[in-house]
Amino acid sequence: MKKKGTVVCICAHPDDQIFGPGGTLAKYAKEGKKILTIILSYGEFSHPHFKQEIIAKTRVKESEDADKIIGGSGILFLGLKEGKFRQHEKKTTKKLTNLLHEYRPKKILTHASDDPHPDHRATFKLVKQAYDRTQLQCPVYTFDVWTPFSTHKRDAPYLIVDVSKTYKTKLKALSCFESQLGVWGFLINIYYVYAGTLLRNFIAGIKHGHRFAEVFYKLR
């Protein structure tokens, strides 16, 4: 089957692509679009009591499992150090520019500029810089990962994706990231991240007349 265009998702850590736009990516994959994900770090600080390379390996495996569930076509890790995304800004921007040229996406998804996590904001900046260096005309949309509500009033045009039919897939993909959390990590995740994600997608759904929805703001 010939793929109906490529969607590129660029995020900071190995689970953001599912927590944020997971339902949308699964939906696009179902529609026959090719989903390529670029993850800037291995998320090795997520479990400080494990050795970093072991964590990186686990996180790669978890992400690849989740990618299979949503019907993605693969993940590329850039291996940046968490908290230090801006350290090699020029090099990373260039790398992203080259990748965008290579992938020729029809749509790009990345973090929002006002995300509370500094790595997410740094990712936004790097993607924006890289995109502006290309001659691509495709739209760039941003998503939230943590916040249940969008706290800032944004004037940018937005995109509402009805993910009711792929929401189960999103939750299944999210479950790939539970394995290495430990009891406390698991509980924290359930209460803050899962509940936040569910609540956000549910509220957006109510607001826009769907069971579950993911909301994106247009950057370009």
Binding site for Zn ion (CB under 5 A): 12-13, 16
CB of 18 to Zn ion, least distance (A): 11
| 61 C-beta neighbours (distance < 10 Å), count | 14
Nearer CB in complex with Zn ion: 12/75: 12
Name the CA radius of gyration of the chain, rounded: 16
Nearer CB in complex with Zn ion: 64/82: 82
Nearer CB in complex with Zn ion: 106/178: 178
CB of 55 to Zn ion, least distance (A): 14
Nearer CB in complex with Zn ion: 16/162: 16
Measured from each CB, the residue nearest to Zn ion is: 13
CB of 216 to Zn ion, least distance (A): 16
C-beta separation of 8 from 140 below 8 A: no
110 CB-near residues (< 8 Å, 6+ apart): 9, 10, 11, 123, 124, 127, 140, 141, 142, 143, 219
For residues 179 and 214, give the distance between their C-alpha atoms in angstroms, rounded to a whole number: 25
For residues 60 and 39, give the distance between their C-alpha atoms in angstroms, rounded to a whole number: 10
CB of 123 to Zn ion, least distance (A): 8
